[in-house]
Amino acid sequence: MDRRKAVLILDFDSDLLIALEHLLEDCGFHCTSTWDVDECSQLMMSGVFDFLVIGNRPPRLRPHEIVADLRGQGLRFGLFVLGSLDHQDGFSNLIDQLRSFPCDLSADRKKKPGKESLPESTDRVCHGS
């Protein structure tokens, strides 16, 4: 049986977090959301999440710095940086990217400290429209 893809959403907009979490769960994904960068890092280090959806809201939220820190610790995951999701096309693009991301990144294959990393082919960066 295929497991549902696990998605972590990081953004400061609580309304967007709730709406996006509901939308993705309705589309068959397991979602967790947070507006706290430190909590996001702790959750990602758990190795549970296949995909990180992160808002692009400088200066408080800098996705490239957060991702560089996580990847610097050896984590591999799919990534979608939120742009403007005011249009249905933006949500459709996000859902399409999540659905097409390979779900064979089981927790035991994600790099933990001291273990070998996954091939670079599992790294994908997608940007919202």
Question: Is 20 within a domain?
Answer: yes
Taking the alpha carbons of 16, 18, 23, 28 in that order, is the dihedral positive or negative?
A: positive
- pLDDT tens sequence across 17-47: 888 899 899 989 999 999 999 999 999 999 9
Query: Distances from the Cα of 77 to the Cαs of 20, 41, 86, 102, in angstroms?
Result: 19, 13, 25, 10
- pLDDT tens sequence across 99-126: 776 655 444 434 443 333 333 333 444 4
Question: Is 112 within a domain?
Answer: no
pTM of full prediction above 0.75: no
Question: Is 5 within a domain?
Answer: no
Question: Is 115 within a domain?
Answer: no
pLDDT classification of 68: cutoffs 50, 70, 90: very high
Cβ atoms 101, 50 nearer than 8 A: yes
| Domain with 92 in it | 12-106+122-127
Question: Is 4 within a domain?
Answer: no
**CATH code of residue 74:** 3.40.50.2300
What domain count does the chain have?
A: 1
How many residues can be counted in the chain?
Answer: 129
Tokens of 117: 């990393």
What type of residue is 20? Answer: L
